């Protein structure tokens, strides 16, 4: 599933996934985008009173700011924030996934991008001015602060929600010549206005993962490796603020957040201490016992005050600093003092990205099981459509979740299923609204992008099918996407290379086609389906982080014909050492695919497929049948479908 930073949709079906309940309903707008609506069902929230209260607070002597910034982010810069962290939605009434509100003493501005212009214009009341970012002459919210507010403005922020390295740094630089300044407020005034209506912060019990069968490394060993990094960087401690990093480091998982099996926590690791800042009630005694004296648990709320004290007791300074990841909030930097901290690409992210052999074996196993659920679903869907049963996209997704939920070690979906027919398949971030979505049509392309969370790994797979007769253009597009997929799957490249993205596009380019997303993102191990720091794409971030043995990454080229159809073929692959006949340089890498689900041969235009590509396809199908077939003993329909779909071409 593509695009970690721009999508977020609430989860609807949660029969087995022990997460917080959805608070929202979803409707599909005519534009094809997904709109999340408040539980009240009303389209517009009257924000007059909220804004009035907020402005009172801004004017108070302890604040004395003339503007306040309310971004979408939570304190951990999570992809899916908890509802108690949806401050921007509360204050503005607009609850799309991306946007930033700026409230001045007189006006209120909501900045969002093209995906949300319609939704925002419907949800905002007359107190708000919609700022359509991306249109000519519309500033970003960052530009707005420096260019459109009066000179010398004190601008209030909640420093826990602003990243120090990216936003705070550049904002300070652009505000300085204007004589304006960012002012970190002690308490977020939106929280005060929200008051008792604010949903409680989630605090579900966490659970440990088995070292031998699931994660392959004790948390003590991980701490030791992190301590080696701390020593290498000549630092006194490492501060871990991202939820998946904390979960990985301590071999714990939780259910505080949708789709990501994480829990609210921070951690500080020093050469001798490991402090976990989290709600004590979330940790069972058995976990505490097994952690023993290696880990000290302190209250979540004590994190910032503890940082101040730790900075002093550890004697952090410029020469011996605290290590912070580059996504750390300004509040953390301010607590430690800029001069005592160094912001670097997170060492925990780098360690987590490289999977050990236990995790890799888990990836293989969970993908085989996951492939069985997908096979059962596609076989079922074909039968339904052939029998003339009317099914909508959401019902399809629900059935797929049902099949997944019967699998061993299943712990929920890894993201909202993209079940999309015809034109909806061209909407990259589509997810169907159960109350208002399209009927799956036999004579249209059907694109299904979905994934599961399992105790032994995380899956993310897209298959595109046609249950009737595809057009020549659809077949050509599918084949070009497939050629790109095969080109990545079979690539061999020297260690340190970052330029394999174009392999996925070459065949499409021959037709004058392309896709406006990257080719691959990192995948967590029973963790976030999107993880860094690596990927396959043209973005600078990806190209500055080369692929390394043991990394997991998606291989998902696509093509989207707006208003007509969309195609994507996605499998998860693991970076492995390549056994090449020669070894010029420092070694070569290749990919091992773990996703096991047939690629529909009916959609192939064989006039452009090479002999080698045909061979690859046949061999992939032999492997898939061999691995997934044995799991389908109790579903003859699925087994028959799998055998047919895996027959050689």
Burial readout 117-131 (b: 16 or more C-beta within 10 A, e: otherwise) = bebbeebbbebbebb
What is the smallest separation between the CB atom of 568 and its own copies, expressed in angstroms? 15
Q: Which is nearer to its own copies, 363 or 503 (CB)?
A: 503
Would you count residue 403 as binding its own copies (CB under 8 A)?
no
What is the smallest separation between the CB atom of 468 and its own copies, expressed in angstroms? 23
Dihedral angle, C-alpha 273, 276, 281, 286, nearest 10 °:
-60
For its own copies, the binding residues in 539-568 under the rule CB under 8 A are 559
What is the smallest separation between the CB atom of 238 and its own copies, expressed in angstroms? 29
For its own copies, the binding residues in 412-471 under the rule CB under 8 A are none
Determine the size of the site formed for its own copies (CB under 8 A).
31
Burial readout 183-205 (b: 16 or more C-beta within 10 A, e: otherwise) = bebeebbbeebbeeebeeebbbe
What is the smallest separation between the CB atom of 605 and its own copies, expressed in angstroms? 13
DSSP H/E element including 268: strand 266-269
Q: Which is nearer to its own copies, 239 or 508 (CB)?
A: 508
| Three-state secondary structure call for residue 124 | coil
Q: Which stretch binds its own copies (CB under 8 A): 202-210, 301-309, 379-387, 579-587?
A: 579-587
Q: Which is nearer to its own copies, 115 or 480 (CB)?
A: 480
For its own copies, the binding residues in 481-540 under the rule CB under 8 A are 491-494, 497, 499-503, 505-506, 509-514, 538
84 burial level (CB within 10 Å; 0-12, 13-18, 19+):
middle
Would you count residue 582 as binding its own copies (CB under 8 A)?
yes
Q: Which stretch binds its own copies (CB under 8 A): 257-265, 321-329, 574-582, 596-604?
A: 574-582
What is the smallest separation between the CB atom of 519 and its own copies, expressed in angstroms? 11
Taking phi over 0 as left and psi of -120 to 50 as alpha, with beta for the rest, 623 belongs to alpha
For its own copies, the binding residues in 313-372 under the rule CB under 8 A are none
Site string for its own copies, 87-126 (x = CB under 8 A): ----------------------------------------
Q: Which is nearer to its own copies, 70 or 536 (CB)?
A: 536
Q: Which two tokens stand for residue 343?
A: 């912001």
Site string for its own copies, 612-631 (x = CB under 8 A): x-------------------
Q: Which is nearer to its own copies, 302 or 612 (CB)?
A: 612
What is the smallest separation between the CB atom of 536 and its own copies, expressed in angstroms? 11
| Three-state secondary structure call for residue 613 | helix
Q: Which is nearer to its own copies, 32 or 434 (CB)?
A: 32
Q: Which is nearer to its own copies, 23 or 509 (CB)?
A: 509
Q: Which is nearer to its own copies, 56 or 502 (CB)?
A: 502
Q: Which is nearer to its own copies, 87 or 475 (CB)?
A: 475
Contact 99, 110 (CB under 8 A): yes
338 burial level (CB within 10 Å; 0-12, 13-18, 19+):
middle
Site string for its own copies, 34-73 (x = CB under 8 A): ----------------------------------------
Q: Which is nearer to its own copies, 468 or 499 (CB)?
A: 499
Q: Which is nearer to its own copies, 235 or 491 (CB)?
A: 491
Q: Residue 159: name the closest of 150, 168, 146 by CA.
A: 168
Q: Phi then psi for 94, rounded to 5 degrees?
A: -90, 120
What is the smallest separation between the CB atom of 503 and its own copies, expressed in angstroms? 7
What is the smallest separation between the CB atom of 426 and its own copies, expressed in angstroms? 12
Which residue among 234, 290, 583, 619 contacts its own copies (CB under 8 A)? Answer: 583
What is the smallest separation between the CB atom of 607 and its own copies, expressed in angstroms? 12
For 136, other C-beta atoms within 10 Å of its C-beta total 5
Q: How far apart are CA 211 and CA 233, in angstroms?
A: 28
Q: Which two tokens stand for residue 640?
A: 């028959």
Q: DSSP secondary structure string, 126-152?
A: TT-EEEETTSTTPPPHHHHHHHTSPTT
Q: How distant is the alpha carbon of residue 416 from its chain centre?
A: 11
Q: Which stretch binds its own copies (CB under 8 A): 39-47, 91-99, 578-586, 595-603?
A: 578-586
Q: How far apart are CA 294 and CA 623, in angstroms?
A: 44
Q: Which two tokens stand for residue 162?
A: 């602003």
Q: Which is nearer to its own copies, 356 or 543 (CB)?
A: 543
Contact 354, 332 (CB under 8 A): no
Q: Which is nearer to its own copies, 117 or 559 (CB)?
A: 559
Q: Which stretch binds its own copies (CB under 8 A): 85-93, 170-178, 266-274, 575-583?
A: 575-583
For its own copies, the binding residues in 584-613 under the rule CB under 8 A are 584-585, 588, 610-612
Contact 326, 165 (CB under 8 A): yes
Q: Phi then psi for 617, rounded to 5 degrees?
A: -60, -45
The CA–CA distances, whole Å, from 230 to 236, 327, 634 equal: 7, 18, 52
Burial readout 433-453 (b: 16 or more C-beta within 10 A, e: otherwise) = beeebbebebebbbbbbbbbb
What is the smallest separation between the CB atom of 505 and its own copies, expressed in angstroms? 8
Q: Which is nearer to its own copies, 511 or 592 (CB)?
A: 511
Q: Which two tokens stand for residue 361?
A: 């074996």
Q: Which stretch binds its own copies (CB under 8 A): 89-97, 122-130, 172-180, 581-589?
A: 581-589
For 232, other C-beta atoms within 10 Å of its C-beta total 9
Beta strands per DSSP E along 404-443: 410-413, 418-421
**By the criterion CB under 8 A, which residues form the site for its own copies?**
491-494, 497, 499-503, 505-506, 509-514, 538, 559, 578, 580-585, 588, 610-612
């Amino acid at each position: 599933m593509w695009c970690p930073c721009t999508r977020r949709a609430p989860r609807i079906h949660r029969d087995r996934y022990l997460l917080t309940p959805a608070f929202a309903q979803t409707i599909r707008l005519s534009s094809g985008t997904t709109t999340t609506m408040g539980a009240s069902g009303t389209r517009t929230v009257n924000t007059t009173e909220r804004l009035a209260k907020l402005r009172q607070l801004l004017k108070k002597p302890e604040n004395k700011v003339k503007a306040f910034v309310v971004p979408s982010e939570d304190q951990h810069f999570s992809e899916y924030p908890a509802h108690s962290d949806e401050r921007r939605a509360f204050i503005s009434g607009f609850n799309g996934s991306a946007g930033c509100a700026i409230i001045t003493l007189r006006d209120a501005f909501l900045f969002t991008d093209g995906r949300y212009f319609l939704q925002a214009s419907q949800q905002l009341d007359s107190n708000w001015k919609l700022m359509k970012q991306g249109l000519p002459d519309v500033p970003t919210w960052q530009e707005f602060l420096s260019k459109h507010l009066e000179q010398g403005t004190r601008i209030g922020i909640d420093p826990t929600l602003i990243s120090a390295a990216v936003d705070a740094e550049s904002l300070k630089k652009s505000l300085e010549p204007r004589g304006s300044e960012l002012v970190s407020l002690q308490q977020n005034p939106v929280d005060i206005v929200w008051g008792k209506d604010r949903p409680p912060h989630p605090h579900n019990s966490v659970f440990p993962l088995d070292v031998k069968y699931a994660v392959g490394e004790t948390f003590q060993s991980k701490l030791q490796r992190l301590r080696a990094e701390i020593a290498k960087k000549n630092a006194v401690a490492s501060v871990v603020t991202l939820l998946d990093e904390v979960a990985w480091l301590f071999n714990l998982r939780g259910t505080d957040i949708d789709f990501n099996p994480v829990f609210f926590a921070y951690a500080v690791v020093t050469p001798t201490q490991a402090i976990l800042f989290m709600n004590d009630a979330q940790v069972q005694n058995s976990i505490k016992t097994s952690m023993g004296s290696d880990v000290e648990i302190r209250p979540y709320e004590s994190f910032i005050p503890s940082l101040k004290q730790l900075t002093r007791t550890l004697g952090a300074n410029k020469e011996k600093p605290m290590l912070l990841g580059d996504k750390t909030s300004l509040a953390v930097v301010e607590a430690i003092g800029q001069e005592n901290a160094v912001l670097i690409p997170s060492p925990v992210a780098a360690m987590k990205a490289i999977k050990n052999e236990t995790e890799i074996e888990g990836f293989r196993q969970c993908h085989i099981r996951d492939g069985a659920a997908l096979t059962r679903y596609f076989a079922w869907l074909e039968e339904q459509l052939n029998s003339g049963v009317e099914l909508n996209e959401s019902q399809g997704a629900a059935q797929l979740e049902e099949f997944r939920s019967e699998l061993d070690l299943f712990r929920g979906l890894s993201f909202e299923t993209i079940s999309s027919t015809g034109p909806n398949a061209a909407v990259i971030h589509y997810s169907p609204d159960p109350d208002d979505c399209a009927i799956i049509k036999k004579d249209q392309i059907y694109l299904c992008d979905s994934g599961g969370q399992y105790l032994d790994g995380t899956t993310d797979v897209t298959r595109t099918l046609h249950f009737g007769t595809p057009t020549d253009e659809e077949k050509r597009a599918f084949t070009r996407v497939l050629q790109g997929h095969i080109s990545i799957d079979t690539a061999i490249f020297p260690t340190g290379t970052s330029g394999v993205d174009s392999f996925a596009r070459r065949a499409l380019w021959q037709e004058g086609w392309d896709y406006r997303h990257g080719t691959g993102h990192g995948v967590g191990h029973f963790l976030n389906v999107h993880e860094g720091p690596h990927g396959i794409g043209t973005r600078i971030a990806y190209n500055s982080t080369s692929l390394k043995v043991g990394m997991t990454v998606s291989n998902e080229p696509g093509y989207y014909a707006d208003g007509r159809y969309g195609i994507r073929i996605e499998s998860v692959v693991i970076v492995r050492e390549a056994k090449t006949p020669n070894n010029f340089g420092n070694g070569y890498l290749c990919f091992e695919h773990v996703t096991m689900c047939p690629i529909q041969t009916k959609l192939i235009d064989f006039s452009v497929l090479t002999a080698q590509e045909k061979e690859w396809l046949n061999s992939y199908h032999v492997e898939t049948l061999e691995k997934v077939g044995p799991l389908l003993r109790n579903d003859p329909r699925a087994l028959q479908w799998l055998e047919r779909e895996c027959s050689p071409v």
